[in-house]
Amino acid sequence: MSLVADCSSCFGLCCVALPFAASADFALDKDAGTPCPNLREDFRCGIHDRLRDRGFTGCTVFDCFGAGQQVSQVTFGGRDWQDDPATARSMFAVFPVMRGLHELLWYLTEALALPAAAPLHPELRQALADTERLTQLPPDELAAVDVPAVRQQVNELLVRAAERARASVPGRRRNHRGADLIGAKLRGADLRGASLRGALLIGADLRKADLRSADVTGADLRGADLRGADLTGCLFLTQAQLTAARGDASTRLSAPLTPPAHWASSGRRAAASAARC
């Protein structure tokens, strides 16, 4: 089972099953189960290389963690909702459930890679196996899975794993779990080993901040300025979180995370602006 999205093996489910509202993230309203007007008949996005310019930033930061191809190719055996309309309602109901389960599988896999969490590995492996079994259920049973309940159980384990990893960081470890840090001025802040789990960091100034080994599970980094920040070894940092933020070539990351393409263009604009001043 892959936890990396493969859009070529999916029937455009994120573009159909999920709703979105006109906002800074989406240029228009769309109801759940209604295809996005930019979705082509071959399930490709007609403006994929222009999503940000056309007002669909929300699409660029969405990650299904491989749920799309799992639903398309495994749960429904390759039957697509266009050729087999009878499957549409069920497929669209299953997709968000599968996406939630795959996200949890990704986090559990990340936790198992933490050396400090070794004492928890048996519990983590059991949680991983239990969650994988849910993804194999038939459509009707899968649609009925209580994802919030599963998430609560898994999150308790993930918090324990993160706490063990953070405990290895010397000095004071700040607790900003769930904090409202929208627009916060945190330039150069020492946030090593901090808990930023679920924190709202929208538009925060984190330039040159030290975020090594910080727990950023579910932190909202939309528009956060990460230029020059050190995110080496950040716990549970997703590629989607990086894509939602701003950064440049001086932002330090751990593999397999990579700088989003728009960071390079932002860096060029900033350099040009500085040159004019």
Alpha-carbon distance of 95 to 143, in angstroms, equals 8
- CA dist 99 and 62 (Å) reads 11
SS3 category, 98 = helix
Give residue 246's pLDDT.
Answer: 95
pLDDT tens profile 147-170: 999 999 999 999 999 999 999 898
Distance CA 124, CA 162 (A): 12
Would you call the peptide bond into 260 cis, given omega within 30 degrees of 0 as the criterion?
no
Rounded CA separation 93/239 (Å)? 26
Range 163-178 average pLDDT:
92
Q: What percent of the chain has pLDDT over 90?
A: 85
Instruction: With beta carbons less than 8 A apart as the criterion, state whether 139 and 76 touch.
Output: yes
> Which residues contact residue 66 at a Cβ distance below 8 angstroms, ignoring those fewer than 6 apart?
1, 2, 3, 4, 5, 6, 102
Per CATH, the number for 171-277 is 2.160.20.80
> What integer pLDDT is reported at residue 264 of this predicted model?
83
**Helices 121-135 and 88-112: crossing angle, nearest 10°?**
170
Q: Which of 268, 249, 267, 269 is nearest to 259 (CA)?
A: 249
| pLDDT digits 0-9 by tens, 56-71 | 989 989 999 999 999 9
Q: In 10 A of CB 40, how many CB atoms?
A: 13
Chain center to CA of 205: 21
**Nearest one of 233, 237, 239, 225 to 267, comparing CA atoms:** 225
Residue 128 in contact with residue 108, Cβ under 8 Å?
Answer: yes
Read off the pLDDT band of 191 (50, 70, 90): very high
Query: What stretch(es) of the chain map to CATH 2.160.20.80?
Result: 171-277
How remote is the C-alpha of 113 from its chain's centroid?
Answer: 18
Q: What integer best gives the mean pLDDT of the chain? A: 93
Give residue 252's pLDDT. 97
Q: What is the distance between the alpha carbons of residues 95 and 167, in angstroms, rounded to a whole number?
A: 37
Model's pTM, two decimal places? 0.91
